Amino acid sequence: MYRRAFMIGSTASMAVGKASAQAASTLLIDDFTSGTSTALSGNRWMGFTDQVMGGRSTGTTVLDEINGRPCIRLTGTVNTQGGGFIQLAIDLGENRKPFDGRRFNGVELDVYGNGEEYNCHLRTTDVRWYEQSYRASFVAPQSWTTVKLPWSAFEPSEIETPLNLEGLLRLGILGWMRDFEADIAVGRLSLY
CATH of the domain at 162: 2.60.120.430
| Residue 66, domain extent | 6-191
Give the per-residue pLDDT at 36. 60
pLDDT of residue 43: 87
Could you give the number of structural domains in the chain?
1
Q: Can you tell me the distance from the alpha carbon of 15 to that of 10, in angstroms, rounded to the nearest whole number?
A: 9
* Residue 80 is assigned to a structural domain of this protein: yes
DSSP for 148-165, please give it: EEEGGG-EEES--SPP-G
Model pLDDT, residue 15? 28
The model's pLDDT over 65-80, given as tens digits with 9 standing for 90+, comes to 999 999 999 999 999 9
CA 91, distance to chain mean position in Å, is 9
Q: What pLDDT sits at residue 177?
A: 96
pLDDT in the model for residue 105: 98
Are 174 and 85 within 8 A, CB to CB?
A: yes
Task: Kindly state whether residue 126 falls inside one of the protein's structural domains.
Answer: yes
Q: What is the mean pLDDT of residues 43-71?
A: 95
Q: Tell me, what's the pLDDT at 130?
A: 87
- For range 133-150, the mean pLDDT: 98
d(CA 63, CA 73): 6
| Residue 17 predicted with pLDDT over 70 | no
Q: State residue 41's pLDDT score.
A: 55
Domain membership flag for residue 12: yes
Query: Residue 23: its pLDDT value, please?
Result: 42
Is the pLDDT reported for residue 124 higher than 60? Answer: yes
Q: Answer yes or no: is 125 within a domain.
A: yes
Reduce the DSSP state of residue 49 to 3 states and report it.
strand
Q: Across residues 83-107, what is the average pLDDT?
A: 95
Domain assignment present for residue 72? The answer is yes
Strands (E), 14-167: 20-23, 26-30, 46-49, 58-66, 69-78, 85-91, 106-113, 116-124, 133-140, 145-150, 155-157
Say if 1 falls within a structural domain. Answer: no
| Assigned domain for 110 exists | yes
The answer to whether residue 170 scores a pLDDT higher than 70 is yes
pLDDT, average across residues 52-64? 95
Percent of the chain whose predicted confidence (pLDDT) is above 90: 77
Please give the average per-residue pLDDT across 165-172, as a whole number.
98
Please tell me the least confidently modeled range out of 20-34, 98-112, 130-144.
Answer: 20-34
Could you tell me if residue 20 is inside a domain?
yes
Q: Which residue, among 16, 30, 9, 25, has the nearest Cα to 109 in the 3D structure?
A: 30
